[in-house]
């Protein structure tokens, strides 16, 4: 009887693991964001790229740039003169995040509704640094610092 109970428990465990494994597969089609990592306000630090590999840093410009991802799957961006609070928005749009194949790699891709910006690969370095890379030839890589959740 003990042997039968053990066999049933092992079979049940294998079935549960198989169900969990198939339910966690990644899709290549955009879905509404279910990632909490991007939510909050982000402060732009630098952008590098373009044909000449130009580097633009926050200290070399007379403005501040902010991104804010809301829980309701909306992202807004605002560029303001230094010393001015980030009020209003230069653009506000819905967004989705999905895993997609780019240059033979699976990357997390941020897509903006209404094509307000080209799609960007999204990467986190630690909890408070966000790297957005334009998915276009001669695109830019943008670095942001988390200000709030």
pLDDT at 72: 75
* Res. 16: pLDDT tops 50: no
Q: Is the pLDDT of residue 66 over 90?
A: yes
Enumerate residues 6+ apart whose C-beta is below 8 A from 66. 41, 42, 43, 44, 77, 78, 79, 80, 86, 147
What kind and span of H or E run contains 101?
strand 91-102
Fold for 27-148, please state it: Lipocalin (2.40.128)
Residues 111 and 97: their CA atoms lie apart, in Å, by 6
C-alpha to C-alpha distance for 12 and 14, rounded to whole angstroms:
5
Give me the pLDDT at residue 120, please. Answer: 94
Determine the pLDDT at residue 144. 97
**pLDDT higher than 50, residue 105:** yes
Predicted local distance difference test score (pLDDT) of residue 32: 42
User: What is the pLDDT, as a whole number, of residue 17?
Assistant: 37
> What average pLDDT does the segment 104-127 reach?
89
How would you class 31 by CB atoms within 10 Å of its CB: exposed for 0-12, middle for 13-18, buried for 19 or more?
A: exposed
**Per-residue pLDDT, 22:** 34
Mean pLDDT value of segment 97-120: 88
For residue 33, which of 108, 84, 105 has the smallest C-alpha distance? Answer: 108
- 147 versus 10: the higher-pLDDT residue is 147
Q: Which residues pair with 109 in a beta bridge?
A: 98, 121
pLDDT for 27 beyond 80: no
Q: Higher model confidence: residue 37 or residue 45?
A: 45
Whether 127 contacts 39, CB under 8 Å:
no
pLDDT at 26 over 60: no
Element (H, E) at 45: strand 40-49
For residue 30, pLDDT over 50 is answered with: no
- At residue 116, does pLDDT exceed 90? no
């Amino acid at each position: 009887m003990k042997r039968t109970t053990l066999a049933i428990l092992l079979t049940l465990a294998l079935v549960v693991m198989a169900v969990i494994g198939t339910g966690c597969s990644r899709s290549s089609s955009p879905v509404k964001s279910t990632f909490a990592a991007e939510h909050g306000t982000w402060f732009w630090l630098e952008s590098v790229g373009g044909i000449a590999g130009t580097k633009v840093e926050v200290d070399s410009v007379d403005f501040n740039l902010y991104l804010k991802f809301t829980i309701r799957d909306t992202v807004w961006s605002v560029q303001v003169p230094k010393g001015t609070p980030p009020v209003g928005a230069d653009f506000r749009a819905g967004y989705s995040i999905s895993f997609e194949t780019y240059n033979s790699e699976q990357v997390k891709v941020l897509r903006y509704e209404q094509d307000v910006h080209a799609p960007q690969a999204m990467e986190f370095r630690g909890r408070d640094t966000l790297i957005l890379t334009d998915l276009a030839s001669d695109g830019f890589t943008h670095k942001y610092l988390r200000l709030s959740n």
